[in-house]
Amino acid sequence: MTKVIITDDAAFMRMTLRNIITNAGFEVVAEAVNGIEAVKLYEKHRPDLVTMDITMPEMSGIDALIEIKKIDPEAKVIMCSAVGQQTKVIDAIQYGAADFILKPFDESRIIETIEKTLNIKSTIL
């Protein structure tokens, strides 16, 4: 089963993503509230995919992306951003993010992005 770590400082966003991801047949192995936690959890779980909010306290999503890529250059990280963060999304892609999804979340777009990133096709939709 595909293992995913969800990273977002907002509990509601983590819950929303968890529901979408688990309903699509993927396993959420951990949740992080900031970039520092995300890096530690990545080292511990070595998931197939990480969803990463861009703007978080203590360590931004971009900084966490950079650290995760140091640990595993093949890591697959999808950035989550709000409208108006285009320059940060571009930065994230340059640092190795696989893709991005916009908030508010659209279920079909999230699943499509995960499938594209992991080069798989789900049977859910």
> What pLDDT is stored for residue 122 in this prediction?
55
CA–CA distance, 89 with 93 (Å, rounded to integer): 6
> What pLDDT is stored for residue 21 in this prediction?
97
Residue-wise pLDDT for 52-76, tens only, equals 999 999 999 999 999 999 999 999 9
Short-list 41, 51, 27, 28, CA closest to 114: 51
Burial 14-23 (b: 16+ CB within 10 A, else e): bebbbebbee
The CATH class for the domain spanning 3-118 reads alpha beta
- Is the per-residue pLDDT at 125 higher than 50? no
